[in-house]
Structure 1
């Protein structure tokens, strides 16, 4: 793993030269258009970076974008990988390790998610404070490389509380409906059943999605502060009000 990271970094830096991003951003499903807000310095297709996979889901372009956002140097993933696409957990989370070795100071992860609490509506923002991991696999499984992180990373503070406070304050200032909540991570690709949505509600979940948790686990493994924001794409509770959801609605 470590040698793969170094090869990817070397390939990127031959093009990047002196640009040094301080923040990494992962753009989730339906959020790729946010890349238009970036004052782009360099854009590298994933297929030009060693060991990067290629997204197969509509709306995930597959470019690593370097540039400025409100004057801050950032690197953004326009497109992410999901376990349900057939990639290994190592492939899904490999970009997070590369971003860390680009010396970013914090990582912002976005996703589209279903709301499993009655007060959540499409368009609401939920800043994640904790998660419930229902994925079948874990990206930290296998022999641990101490250069990347400790064998048993503690997940008590996986999500940065100070970043959440700042994000909530900004949302309130701009009259944006925003909450803190718990993310339930499922494997996908199928959407969940009404019984499953009800279960997620009972066990304390606020939103449900098919990404994010593997990336958070790896970020925490590498001691990288994380802010996660879920954009509610559809209501999944109360279960008697659920309607069928399509990818077009999500993106």
Structure 2
């Protein structure tokens, strides 16, 4: 994707939107319900947006929703794209480029993840402090467009310390217990083996999933401030003596949706109040 393609998609969306959003949301498996709480919503199917792929995974509605969440203008992806669906990394991360062109300054990225850290439990929310890119590739491979970002972006603070502190304080204020840890991205779509989970634990991983990292790399390339939240939907392979399934992911995210909804609604207000001009 190039700058012109990004602009074409952003202009298409802007024509349908009554106000410029500054906060973007990427909603992972089972977490798209948050977009249903957006007021005065403008809903645009991914298939209508120039250059957008279509989501093929259960629990991903496949639309961009723009409107007011708790009084704050947001643009929310109700479903994301994954490398394992057969899309190139350019396609997977294209929405992040478009959000940047829309005027987004802060990106909240969410996902459902398997717990590697044995102190975690299904239903926990984990603030992502850092990540390990275990996909074997990078969305920035290829010629660099200097209009989009620098050739060698710094990822020493991929997930904003400022936003993590704000998120911890917000959780404390509403009486919500949150974890913090390192997210590992694999390509999927198969779940990891118990041996792979033991390896990832040694590497320093606390949770594992099949998304987020490519989007965050591109977000940092685009100079966006990022907050990442994982919903621990299940314990990873080998920790509990039971098989893994996507149904379990959806079931767990359904159980925690009320606390997740309240948390993100509070967060957008706090982020808005601390970043508005």
TM tier relative to shorter chain: over 0.9
Indicate the residue corresponding to 2:164 in structure 1: 164
Name the counterpart of 1:245.
244
Two-structure CA RMSD over aligned residues (Å): 1.1
Q: Secondary structure at the match of 2:15?
A: helix
Residue by residue, what CA displacement relative to the aligned partner does 1:46-81 show, whole Å, maximum 9, x if unpaired? Answer: 111000000000011111100111111000000100
Of Structure 1 and Structure 2, which has the larger fraction of its residues in helix? Answer: 2
Rounded Cα–Cα distance in structure 2 between residues aligned with 1:208 and 1:240: 13
| 1:22 Cα deviation after fit | 1.4
Q: Deviations 1:195-237 (Å, cap 9, x if unpaired)?
A: 0111111111000000000000000001100000000001127
1:196 alignment partner in structure 2 = 196
Q: How does 1:52-67 map to 2 (within 5 A)?
A: 52-67=52-67
> Which residue pairs with 1:6 in the alignment?
7
What residue in structure 1 maps to residue 206 of structure 2? 206
Secondary structure in 2 aligned to 1:214? helix
Q: Is 1:25 aligned with 2:25?
A: yes
Does the CA contact (< 8 Å) of 2:27 and 2:78 recur in 1? yes
Map 1:36-185 onto structure 2 (within 5 A): 36-185=36-185
Q: What TM-score comes out, normalization by structure 2 length?
A: 0.87
Contact 2:192/2:236, CA 8 A, preserved across alignment:
no
Q: SS of the residue aligned with 1:15?
A: coil
Alignment match, 1:15: 16
Give the whole-Å Cα distance in 2 for the aligned partners of 1:7 and 1:22: 19
Whether the 8 Å CA contact 2:124–2:232 is kept in 1: the answer is: yes
Change (3 A) 1:97 1:240: closer
Structure 1: gaps of 5 or more residues: none
Q: Is the 8 A contact 1:40 1:65 kept in 2?
A: no
Runs of 4+ with >4 A deviation: none
CA contact (8 A) 2:82 2:92 kept: yes
Distance 1:229 1:242 in 2: 26
Q: CA deviation at 1:40?
A: 3.3
Q: Structure 2: how far apart are the matches of 1:200 and 1:174?
A: 33
Q: Distance in 2 between matches of 1:98 and 1:81?
A: 14
In the TM superposition, residue 154 of structure 1 has moved relative to its aligned partner by 1.0
SS at match of 2:166: helix
Question: How many pairs are equivalent?
Answer: 249
